[in-house]
């Protein structure tokens, strides 16, 4: 009788892990203690993502840089790129350099501005150096129109340094309360009046180095007084209008007022420093607005390198929904 081959049915040997698991099960059964069930994630719960190497470092770097762009893209220097895409490196700098290369000729441009604004002048109402000094200090972070509404009452009660020096800031505050930062401004004009009385016999000094020692008086305020009263400024007054228009004309590629002033002082003859500020301020208030500048009606549109595209030049940084700044070219 032929023999039939029977396939072995022996189970393969258990692994060390299985042996260990069996031993633990026997020990648990012998002890009579039921182990607590292992916690399980709810059905459908998303698995935790494992961060890629360097992700934490990149996140920290983004926070340090300042801003996350729309769509999660971090733009260079913390600036949010429009549409979430990082801006092309150096695009704004290249545009500024191109305008600078095609800058409006300074002397010819100033001549044109004189023809456009023959009455350009300081628009702060004042009677004498002291009142101009006080009005200029009050004009910080507000408009000349607002200052001119406040100063008649102020100067009616305190017409000179001697009378204002005897006052307390609390007495002055109600007279300038319509202006921003009025408490600090009241303190400054009382303080500068006392210094004028104590150190300069109540008169406004005619040197920039002396003026900037007075409370609330910086280089810009000092040059306003020196230029308007004595036509002896030691620089060009750079306010928001001067900054914007000098960039649009290609006279500077800088955004810092101190550097802009240095650029303008190199380009413009010294005897034109004071009228330059008034001409640019007049033009900024009447023609070359920050938003929707009137390029069509501007008498400089044949020499201005930003003509018909000026709205995209020299603007202050905007705020987007993420709270980060976005600067235009």
Cross-strand bridge partners of residue 319 = 325
Angle at 87 between CA 86 and CA 92, to 5 degrees: 160
Torsion of CA 55, 56, 62, 67, to 10 degrees: 100
Residue 107, helix vs strand vs coil:
helix
Residue 163, helix vs strand vs coil:
helix
C-alpha to C-alpha distance for 136 and 125, rounded to whole angstroms: 10
C-alpha to C-alpha distance for 125 and 138, rounded to whole angstroms: 12
Residue 286 CB neighbours (<10 A)? 13
Residue 211: which region, alpha, beta or left (left: phi > 0; alpha: psi -120 to 50)? alpha
Residue 263 a catalytic site member: no
Helices (H), the chain: 16-31, 55-65, 91-101, 106-116, 129-138, 144-157, 161-165, 169-172, 182-200, 208-211, 219-230, 240-248, 257-267, 273-286
C-alpha to C-alpha distance for 55 and 19, rounded to whole angstroms: 41
Among candidate residues 187, 220, 263, 274, the one labeled active-site is 220
Among candidate residues 239, 271, 292, 318, the one labeled active-site is 239
With CA atoms as reference, report the closest residue to 217 among 112, 132, 298.
132
Residue 274 a catalytic site member: no
With CA atoms as reference, report the closest residue to 246 among 258, 264, 266.
264
- The H-or-E segment that residue 325 falls in is strand 325-326
Q: Catalytic residues, which ones?
A: 220, 239
């Amino acid at each position: 009788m032929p023999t039939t081959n029977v396939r072995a049915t022996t189970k393969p040997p258990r692994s060390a892990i299985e042996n260990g698991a069996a031993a633990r099960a026997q020990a648990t059964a012998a002890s009579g203690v039921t182990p607590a069930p292992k916690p399980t994630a709810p059905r459908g719960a998303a698995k935790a993502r494992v961060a890629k190497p360097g992700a934490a470092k990149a996140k920290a770097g983004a926070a340090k840089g300042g801003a996350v762009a729309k769509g999660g893209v971090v733009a260079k220097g913390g600036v949010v790129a429009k549409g979430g895409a990082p801006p092309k490196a150096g695009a704004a700098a290249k545009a500024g350099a191109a305008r600078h290369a095609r800058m409006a000729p300074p002397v010819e441009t100033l001549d044109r501005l004189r023809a456009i604004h023959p009455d350009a002048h300081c628009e702060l109402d004042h009677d004498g150096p002291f009142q101009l000094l006080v009005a200029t200090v009050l004009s910080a972070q507000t408009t000349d129109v607002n200052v001119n509404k406040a100063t008649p009452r102020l100067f009616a009660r305190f017409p000179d340094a001697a009378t204002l020096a005897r006052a307390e800031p609390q007495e002055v505050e109600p007279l300038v309360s319509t202006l921003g930062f009025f408490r600090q401004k009241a303190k400054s004009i009382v303080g500068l009046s006392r210094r004028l009385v104590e150190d300069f016999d109540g008169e406004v000094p005619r040197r920039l180095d002396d003026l900037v020692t007075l409370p609330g008086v910086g280089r810009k305020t000092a040059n306003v007084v020196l230029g308007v009263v004595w036509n002896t400024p030691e620089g060009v007054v750079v306010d928001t209008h001067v900054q914007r228009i000098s960039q649009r004309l290609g006279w500077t590629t800088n955004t810092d007022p101190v550097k802009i002033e240095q650029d303008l002082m190199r380009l413009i003859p010294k005897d034109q420093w004071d009228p330059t500020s008034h001409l640019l301020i007049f033009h900024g208030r009447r023609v070359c607005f920050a938003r929707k500048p009137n390029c069509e009606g501007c008498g400089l549109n044949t020499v201005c390198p930003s003509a018909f595209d000026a709205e995209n030049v020299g603007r202050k940084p905007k705020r987007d929904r993420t709270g980060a700044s976005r600067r235009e070219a």
